[in-house]
Chain A
Amino acid sequence: MDICLHNKMKIENTQSQMRKGVLEYCILTLTSTGEVYASDIISHLKDAKLIVVEGTLYPLLTRLKNSGLLKYEWKESDQGPPRKYYSLTEEGQEFTNKLAETWNELKTSVNKITETK
């Protein structure tokens, strides 16, 4: 019942650290389906409860783009300003594949530990 504030903050911190690690991988995976618009990525991430607000995504997308993993193309939109549609670069594809491997390994390891507990 009464988790003290300090512990609550600690949990939140750890949670956000955990999310942070997988968020990049999730964004890359979502982008690997082809050309996607930022708010499509957002709705998926929101469904999965990985992020709460849209603002979180934009700095991430920009960083991934600038490190050469993502690229984008402008497309006219009938719902306002032109949109950026993101897709993976070749490098990004390789990167995602490697992350997928790591994730699977991690998943197995973590499952092993939590199940045998």
Chain B
Amino acid sequence: MKTSLGRGRAVCSALVVIVIAAALTACSSSDDTSSNGAGGGTYTIWDPYPQFADDSEWVKLLRRCGTSAGVTVERTGYDTTDLVNKALLAAQQGNSPDVLIVDNPVISTLAEAGVLTTTEENKLDISAMEPNLLGAGQREGKTFGVPIGANTLALYYNKDLLAAAGVDVASIKDWPSLTAALAKVKAAGKKGITFSAIGTEEGTFQFLPWFWGAGAQLTALDSPQAVSALALWTGWLKEGYAPNSVINNTQTTSWQEFATGDYAFGENGTWQLANAKKLSFQYGIIPIPGSSGGTAPAPTGGEFVSIPVQNDSSRYPISRQLVSCLTSQDNLLTTDTTLSYVAPVAAVQDKQVAANAELKVWVDAVKVAKSRTGDNLGTKYPKISEALWNAMQAALSGAKTPQAALTAAQATAAAATK
């Protein structure tokens, strides 16, 4: 009895010590998320970059913009897949942030929900923005946000591996030549190509260059061109040119596969440029070829800055100032260099290329890129995209043939977007 009581006391005191330690460590994070700034009120900014901590360039930029507008900025970074729900929930309860930065296909959803203000309401100046990049933020002729930067997809390739396999990268102009190159690589005992075909928006994003490169349109998922694009991928899987893991790969895991050095090609985006520097082999970039030549139109990625609706419309002028500050030419250069994005303003693009010639390929790719919610697809796009990725998953896993999968997808998409 005595020993257990004594031991009990020991455990209790241990617990007390731990609690005090916990409280001290927690409190020692003197987390000054609200910055220095003048006493003009607090403005909240939500962004999908949780990887940027409070001492990062990005957050420092936000605070600088706040100071120059005479207010204190409170910034929160959320997981990007969660941000839509958070934004909707907050809007429902009247708790929207003053500035909201979200992934571009989401803008039309938020616009439809009435969460965002238009440029007419918030008087934002968008004249310098490239039109093809603005497309994702526009709906029924109104603009709901401005791009903070754009990214798109291209094919990274392993120079050393291709040289060893005897493949000349300049000869890859269309799909047959690409497949032939993959065959050569496999014959040399290496692996061909890796990409992401996961059952989420990322999968559709990666598939779209091939889809559009075959000449297919999102309004007709079962066209022969669309089937040929999906058949290209399923063919690669069957021949062993692409690994089975693509079915579950995110773009990150696909990049990790490419980084092992075993793969000749990896389809990935502008944002990997910083990681590309850490590769243990020589790499190069080619644009994704169209089915019979030319460059395939790739989808634009990248986030948009928007101003949500507030009960108190006197907040809009300051919010507008914050957004203008964020998207000013100088700040765009810093931001897009940090994010490894291409700037949405031509003048800044030139500056980016001047500073880093490697970016020319990407800038050119972004110039011909298409927005996913463009062509007035708006909120129809998510439903079409979901049908499309389901078709991809079915065909790649062997559950259905590409034709059957896409026919089913078209039926679902048409029914859902009536």
- A and B found bound together: no
